[in-house]
């Protein structure tokens, strides 16, 4: 989809307003009027771009997680570049990115927004993890239904993020990667 510069500037203004409000309060406490005021736009302009605050959340979630789920992420100094296809690399990349976007995600981790946020990346995080784990679908040998594994993997990761954010991200992405893998690897190997 091609946008003209005015549309891009308006959307950027709305995103920036939303992100700045998320740094101050949780999603459920933000109103469309506050977004409009902060973005310095009219109500009709907001609704020309988004049908609701939830629609804006969907776009923000999509943008936030898009980078993570692309096939060729940029390298970060903490990555082990000797083997970028490992599950460790995949989880570490995800956690470093989420740590860098901490302020945006913190405000979204509230009861009202969590189900929507979870929905945006549940299947993607599972697919990402599945690509990095050894091939051969070992969970089938253990009689674990794939649908259960998808839910368990994504929900576990989401709960790990919640716990991390609730504890002020005290653990490094490297430590968190180690925790997650210690719990999840037995399912996949």
Q: How far apart are CA 14 and CA 45, in angstroms?
A: 10
The first and second tokens of residue 44, run together, are: 């009709």
Query: Please, what is the average pLDDT of the chain?
Result: 78
Span 5-32, pLDDT tens digits: 888 899 999 999 998 888 788 888 899 9
Span 137-165, pLDDT tens digits: 666 677 777 778 777 877 888 888 888 88
Return phi, psi of residue 25, to 5°.
-155, 170
Q: In this predicted structure, what is the pLDDT of residue 154? A: 77
Write the burial class of residue 108 (CB in 10 Å: 0-12 exposed, 13-18 middle, 19+ buried): buried
Q: In this predicted structure, what is the pLDDT of residue 10? A: 94
C-alpha to C-alpha distances, 55 to 9, 32, 47, 52, 120, nearest whole angstrom: 18, 11, 10, 5, 12
pTM of the model: 0.67
DSSP for 76-124, please give it: -TTS-TT-TTSHHHHHHHHHHHHHHTHHHHHTT-STTTHHHHHHHHHHH
């Amino acid at each position: 989809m091609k946008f003209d510069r005015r549309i891009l500037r308006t959307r950027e203004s709305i995103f920036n307003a939303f992100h700045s409000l998320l740094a101050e309060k949780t999603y459920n406490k933000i109103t469309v009027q506050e977004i409009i005021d902060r973005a310095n736009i009219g109500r009709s302009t907001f609704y020309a771009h988004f049908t609701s605050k939830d629609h804006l959340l969907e776009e923000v979630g999509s943008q936030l997680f898009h980078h993570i789920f692309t096939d060729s992420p940029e390298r970060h100094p903490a990555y082990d570049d000797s083997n970028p296809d490992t599950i460790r690399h995949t989880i570490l990349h995800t956690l470093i990115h989420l740590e860098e976007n901490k302020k945006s995600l913190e405000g979204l981790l509230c009861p009202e927004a969590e189900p929507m946020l979870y929905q945006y990346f549940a299947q993607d995080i599972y697919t990402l993890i599945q690509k990095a784990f050894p091939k051969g679908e070992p969970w089938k040998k253990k009689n674990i239904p794939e649908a259960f594994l998808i839910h368990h993997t994504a929900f576990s990761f989401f709960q790990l993020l919640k716990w991390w954010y609730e504890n002020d991200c005290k653990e490094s992405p490297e430590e968190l990667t180690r925790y997650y893998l210690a719990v999840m690897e037995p399912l996949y190997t």
